[in-house]
Amino acid sequence: MSEHHRFKDELKAIWQLGWPIMVGQLASTGTAFVDAVMAGHVSADDLAAVSIGASVWVMLLVTLIGLTLAASPLIAHAVGANERQRIPGIAQQALYQGLLWGVLALLAARLALPVFDLLNLAPDVAHKAREFLKAIAWALPAFALFRVLYGYSASLNATKPMMVIALIGLAVNVPANYVLIYGHLGFPAMGAIGCGWASAFGIWLTLLLMLAWLHVSPAYRDTFPLRHWQRIDWQQQWQLLKLGLPMGAMFFVEVSAFSGLSLLIAKLGTVAVAAHQIALNMASLMFMIPSGLGTAMTVRVGQALGAGETAYARFIGWTGIRIGLVVAASTMLFMVLGRHWIASWYTQDGAVLAAAGTLVLLAGIFQLADATQVIAAGVLRGYKVTRRPMQIHLAAFWVIGIPGGYLLAFNAGLGAAGFWIALVLALAFAAGALVWLFHKRSKAALAG
């Protein structure tokens, strides 16, 4: 088969697997988009409260995504090796671990509540941010369990159900926000706090829908993980930990840079916080497209390696990175050219609009590096390589991103834009290092 035909066939396979994941993740992030837009139309204070409260919430949420990803490459390898009888046990052990991570995340959210009193926020903003986090944190155990089942389903090439479920969750979030933010059907107008309760409700609903679908769909019949429960298998738990802890740390390192910068930006005032939230929210929304591709790459590469096809696994990896660059170029152009229009979706406050236009421009520029690094990390997960990517992210965000952002923002006087310039540099470093690591690891696999 010619290289052109191999590329076309793999492009089709990645697209069939990946597009429902991308749409599903866009829908999941769409909840945060809806929260920001609807809160922003109450007041700048409510938008700032959602931004600051979400900085802690997202840190916990994204760390959970990393911690619960460990089952995906293990299940993908089992699928590729045609050892499907192993899959229910892997999924069950991952569910045990996911529940523990979710409860610990809930406790961490409660322990983080005093941080809002240390940021010199206006008392009303601090109160709303604190109550927003208290409400939405109740969803963390449900989210952790959903993400385990998400990885299980994706590794079986069943991605469309997750897309539909996420779209239902988004559709429910809009009227729930409408009722709780603005006060309808007998509920008080809760503003930013209502966003937290509405989002928590939506996440629990997605878990229940996922559980229901697993029971009725024939796609899971021979690997159904929710019967004949095994005891905790400490050897399997250790294997999951060895993969999951570095991924959780890697995701935490990245999101802590963004969330940490959000907390530092709070010192620049409500306008800067609101503008930063707009840029971050839109960047997070666009990020879900390459992130979905990265999840698809973990499955495709893992299945190829499970089948012993090391050369094809390398080909799949390079194909995914090429696709990601094309997608990122499109999202970059959309954000750069439409930055003022995008900002107007969130607010009509003139000061916030002006500041947000510059930040959305910078967020658009880093799409290329961000897409490359998340897809390369997804490919490496397929190789069960997670420790080195964690170290790369640690260097990128905690050595370049946060210190560089602080210096540019406060010492160089660039304000919030300084943080975003530092993030562009951090992501560019991470992208280059992760692609080089994939090149080395895939060549080593070929050599045997």
Query: CB-based contacts of 269: which residues, under 8 Å, 6+ apart?
Result: none
Compute the half-sphere exposure of residue 296: CA atoms within 13 Å on the CB side of its CA: 31
What H or E segment, with its residue span, contains residue 299?
Answer: helix 270-306
pLDDT at 4: 57
- Domain ranges in the chain are 3-447
Cα-atom radius of gyration of the chain, to the nearest Å?
A: 21
Length of the chain: 448
Q: What is the amino acid identity at position 115? A: V
pLDDT at 168 over 60: yes
Does the pTM surpass 0.85? The reply is no
- pLDDT per position as a tens digit, 37-67: 777 666 767 777 777 777 788 788 888 888 9
- pLDDT per position as a tens digit, 214-241: 999 988 988 998 888 889 999 999 999 9
User: What whole-number distance in Å separates Cα of residue 160 and Cα of residue 126?
Assistant: 40
Phi-psi region of 269 (alpha: psi -120 to 50; beta: other; left: phi over 0): left
- pLDDT per position as a tens digit, 385-413: 988 999 999 999 888 888 898 898 888 87
- pLDDT per position as a tens digit, 63-87: 888 898 888 889 988 988 888 899 9
In this structure, what is the dihedral angle of CA atoms 358, 362, 365, 370, given to the nearest 10 degrees? -150
Q: Can you list the alpha helix ranges (DSSP code H) found in 156-233?
A: 160-182, 192-216
Q: How confident is the model at residue 189 (pLDDT cuts 50, 70, 90)?
A: low
User: What whole-number distance in Å separates Cα of residue 144 and Cα of residue 168?
Assistant: 18
Q: How confident is the model at residue 94 (pLDDT cuts 50, 70, 90)?
A: very high
pLDDT at 344: 84
User: What whole-number distance in Å separates Cα of residue 388 and Cα of residue 70?
Assistant: 15
Query: CB-based contacts of 233: which residues, under 8 Å, 6+ apart?
Result: 89, 93
User: What whole-number distance in Å separates Cα of residue 53 and Cα of residue 58?
Assistant: 9
